[in-house]
Structure 1
Amino acid sequence: MFYPKTPFLGNSLLEGEILKVNSAALSQLLEWLCQTPRVTTYRVNRLRTNVDTHKKQLKDVLSKRYGQRAPRIYGLADLPEVLCIAPLEAELVLREPDPTLKEIIVDTSCGAALLRGAHIYAPGVLAMESNTQLQECVNVYADLAGKCKRGTTTRYESSEKVFLGVGKVLMQRYQLYNNKDEAVTGIAVEMQSNVSGVPSLGDLSCADALLQNLPSIVCVRVLDPQPGERILDMCAAPGNKTTHIAELMGDNGCVVALDNSASRVRGMQTKLNSYRSIQAHVYDSTKAVAASSDAACPAAPPFPCDSFDRILLDAPCSGLGNRPQLLCSIKQAKVLQSYPNIQRRLLGQAVQLLRPGGILVYSTCSVTEAECEGIVAWALRKYPELRLVDATPRYGGSGLPLPDLEATQSSLLQRFGPCKDIDTVGFFIAKFQKDSK
């Protein structure tokens, strides 16, 4: 086991009675959250290129790095836009640090990313030993306790640091820590190998293909957008699902993307500008329903009731499905319990904005019952016009059983959790249809 346990995560979940599972299931879940998903997935933009072309490009990159032992690249039958990169063979996976190498320390966010195959960007480097030279290989550790001071020159000694891999230095200390006039950007350390078995390739995302978690891709396939429809993405940033919606529609129709953060909307604007069907607005989706219903649907929010054919509500959540979880001081129960309130408010707006017969997909990147099955049970009680339909294509398991959810209803939900068949982040998807008037 290369990763730390997260006891505070377990305590918070149990204190707040947010995830009601037995101790054995909780132990399995915590261990799973600490591990890294070992399959890497790319979503190919088939409006710009074809999958075979991008597959060849990926093969070339992997072959240069790993030669004849490059990991396999494969597709998925129900997701023709997806390419998967298998993990490295066991004998290629790094196991122990090299005692002859110097060390650098990174924060836990950076550490989790490099275990997924990323390189280390300058802001993530907390400490680098003195006299570390360009092109020198170093052991990379994550500071779990968060006590390492930025710019430390000596070896950081701590029982709460964990070895993650070996990297090649591309920036020296003076470049990282002595420039006070502007933030340092770029790759500081190029990872050569890591302990997770995920190929260290950096982010190969481009306009033709995007590095994206499989459940996020499945989520938009469950929405099943069709050409010519009017679709709302209520919490759109960073825009990856928004662009996927437009691609599946053939960029033919209208995709309204809302987010309440101006900086996040600015950040995704360049990505969205490549699609004629997408309209992005800085707007709070908890207020997206107009006070009065006009005959014509306005171009900007708020919108009258029954304005959209399909709605994606990828709701703000605790993010407790993200893997690997390296940070021990996880969110407290009181914070975790605040998310269902905003999720219910958003879902209430979505029900009003959805036309009769329309489709609403609710999703989170969380594993807590309160943010997932609990919201579904609440929605079915609150809005009798909603009914669950099967969240297909199906790559995850069924939802957790609840007293107020029938077994047949739970089976229609899709939950990504500890599973032998597929290794992804934690995620949840529910698909509703609004009854016709």
Structure 2
Amino acid sequence: MFYPKTPFLGKAALLESEILKVHSAALPQLLPWLCQTPRTTTYRVNTLHSSVTEFKQKLESILSFKYGPAAPKVYGLPELPEILCIAPLDSTTVAAYDDTHKQIIVDTSCGAALLRGAHIYAPGVLAMETGTQLRELVNVFADLPGKCKRGTTTRYECEQKIFLGVGEVLMQRHQLYNNTEQAPTGIAVQMKWNMSGVPALGDLSSEAAMLQNLPSIVCVRVLAPQPGERILDMCAAPGNKTSHIAELMRNEGIVIALDNSASRLRAMQSKLEHYSCIVCHHFDATKACHVDASPESNRPPFPPNSFDRILLDAPCSGLGNRPQLCCSIKQPKVLESYPHIQRRLMTQAVQLLRPGGVLVYSTCTVTEAECEELVAWTLRKFPQLQLVEATPKLGAAALPLPELSPTLCELLQRFGPDLDTVGFFIAKFQKL
């Protein structure tokens, strides 16, 4: 049984260097960093609906009620005026492990969310001991090897389960495993505290503000959308960046949001319905440009030179997500497939961007092939594109490559070790 202060990757989650293809100098820092939890929680305030001051007061009130004098600080960042950060809890607020509590087992995906401040929803509970009562405090463990059978009634004995924290039971066994056609929903276990020290608040997202990773917020600020512009979000789901674009445009202009998944597009509709400037389409962005398309239409495909700014937040391997409690090693062929789709999307984006327009490319991964190498390929393939500085600059410079000079590396942003964020990459181009 593991219960370290900093949850770590299990043996099955160690990402081999030859598969990751990251710079060798970064590996000693990268792997431990990927298994740690970002400890700062960030909310992006919708300034069209609320004020930063109002939402800050709300957060401070909730934290004060839950933690009293030990409530963590809520603060802003001058580079991102719409953001509020919640600091981690002081280490003294983490209670000692108590083996007298019954145990709850969750999968590693649920466990990772829990360490970032989430509560446990019904589908995430793999096992609960018989006799567990409502409002009872329980120890929560993640099943690293993935061998726990759903609905297990006895204590799950496993050397590779990891202790995550303590929660309060809000649903009993018969509610979770009643074998009815309708799966249970809602919070099953409300976390009291977790091992990461991130405040256990759940997701407080509403029309007033959205829980969002810091680099994703930086990404849209780098795009710098302006009121009245025509902007394309090529791979829009789940819609968080799309709504941020609309807010920075003050809901004036037009934002075309494309995604090739109908289900993901439906899921984000409620999030975007308050913005009159956003038009969503279920469409494959690798076919978004067509020379015979109507220049007057807001439906894809579109003619060349149609957009003032384009966000290409590309499909990627997602290896920047933290913490990675356990993950299946992706086969080289799978990892190698991502740059191919990224290049196809980039080719469409360059055609769709008007001269003088801005294109931002981003990924939530750490591989060179999907980040720095993709930028080098783009500059070779499209001489009409110029790399410009991605500001505001909250990330570090890119990893060095033979094709990218130190000057060009400084224009890019890589969120990696020594930063309290998820792994992320941002590049900003301008079409000459």
Q: Please report the TM-score for the alignment, with normalisation by the length of structure 2.
A: 0.97
Between the aligned partners of 1:248 and 1:27, the Cα distance in structure 2 is: 39
Match of 2:38 in 1: 37
SS at match of 2:112: helix
Match of 1:176 in 2: 176
Between the aligned partners of 2:49 and 2:8, the Cα distance in structure 1 is: 42
Classify 1:242/1:333 alpha carbon distance in 2 versus 1 (closer, same or farther; 3 Å).
same
Between the aligned partners of 1:376 and 1:404, the Cα distance in structure 2 is: 10
Between the aligned partners of 1:166 and 1:6, the Cα distance in structure 2 is: 21
Between the aligned partners of 1:315 and 1:214, the Cα distance in structure 2 is: 17
CA contact (8 A) 2:13 2:325 kept: no
| Superposition deviation, residue 78 in structure 1 | 1.1
Match of 1:301 in 2: 300
CA contact (8 A) 1:193 1:200 kept: yes
| Superposition deviation, residue 332 in structure 1 | 2.4
For residues 366-406 of structure 1, give each alpha carbon's deviation from its aligned partner in whole angstroms, at most 9, with x where no partner exists: 01101100100000000000010000001110000000111
For residues 319-377 of structure 1, give each alpha carbon's deviation from its aligned partner in whole angstroms, at most 9, with x where no partner exists: 10000001142322221111111111101100000000000000000011011001000
Counterparts of 1:378-389 in structure 2, within 5 Å, are 378-389=377-388
- After TM superposition, the structure 1 stretch with the greater mean CA deviation from structure 2, 195-204 or 296-305, is 296-305
Say whether 1:19 aligns with 2:18: no
| Superposition deviation, residue 315 in structure 1 | 0.3
| Superposition deviation, residue 8 in structure 1 | 5.0
Between the aligned partners of 1:348 and 1:181, the Cα distance in structure 2 is: 46
Q: Share of identical aligned residues, percent?
A: 67
Match of 2:328 in 1: 329
Gaps of 5+ in 1: none
| Superposition deviation, residue 293 in structure 1 | 5.0
Between the aligned partners of 2:334 and 2:12, the Cα distance in structure 1 is: 13
CA contact (8 A) 1:297 1:303 kept: no
CA contact (8 A) 2:20 2:367 kept: no
SS at match of 1:241: helix
Say whether 1:4 aligns with 2:8: yes
SS at match of 1:338: helix
Match of 2:421 in 1: 424
Counterparts of 1:6-405 in structure 2, within 5 Å, are 6-7=10-11, 10-12=14-16, 14-16=17-19, 18-22=21-25, 25-94=26-95, 96-294=96-294, 296-405=295-404
SS at match of 2:368: coil
Q: Please report the TM-score for the alignment, with normalisation by the length of structure 1.
A: 0.96
Specify the code of the residue in structure 2 equivalent to 1:275: Y
Classify 1:9/1:387 alpha carbon distance in 2 versus 1 (closer, same or farther; 3 Å).
farther
Specify the code of the residue in structure 1 equivalent to 2:60: K
Between the aligned partners of 1:209 and 1:330, the Cα distance in structure 2 is: 35
Classify 1:222/1:322 alpha carbon distance in 2 versus 1 (closer, same or farther; 3 Å).
same
Between the aligned partners of 1:7 and 1:369, the Cα distance in structure 2 is: 23
CA contact (8 A) 1:311 1:360 kept: yes
RMSD: 1.2
Specify the code of the residue in structure 2 equivalent to 1:339: Y
CA contact (8 A) 2:236 2:257 kept: yes
Between the aligned partners of 2:14 and 2:332, the Cα distance in structure 1 is: 10
SS at match of 2:85: strand
Match of 2:431 in 1: 434
CA contact (8 A) 1:121 1:186 kept: yes
Classify 1:26/1:8 alpha carbon distance in 2 versus 1 (closer, same or farther; 3 Å).
farther
SS at match of 2:308: strand
Classify 1:16/1:328 alpha carbon distance in 2 versus 1 (closer, same or farther; 3 Å).
closer
Specify the code of the residue in structure 1 equivalent to 2:67: Y
Specify the code of the residue in structure 2 equivalent to 1:246: A
CA contact (8 A) 1:356 1:434 kept: yes
SS at match of 2:369: coil
For residues 158-196 of structure 1, give each alpha carbon's deviation from its aligned partner in whole angstroms, at most 9, with x where no partner exists: 111100000000000010011421111100000000000
Specify the code of the residue in structure 2 equivalent to 1:203: D
SS at match of 1:16: helix
Between the aligned partners of 1:427 and 1:60, the Cα distance in structure 2 is: 32
Specify the code of the residue in structure 2 equivalent to 1:178: N
Classify 1:80/1:90 alpha carbon distance in 2 versus 1 (closer, same or farther; 3 Å).
same
| Superposition deviation, residue 6 in structure 1 | 4.8
CA contact (8 A) 1:396 1:416 kept: yes
Between the aligned partners of 1:19 and 1:288, the Cα distance in structure 2 is: 31
CA contact (8 A) 1:123 1:184 kept: yes
Classify 1:7/1:341 alpha carbon distance in 2 versus 1 (closer, same or farther; 3 Å).
farther
SS at match of 1:370: helix
Length, aligned pairs only: 428
| Superposition deviation, residue 10 in structure 1 | 4.7
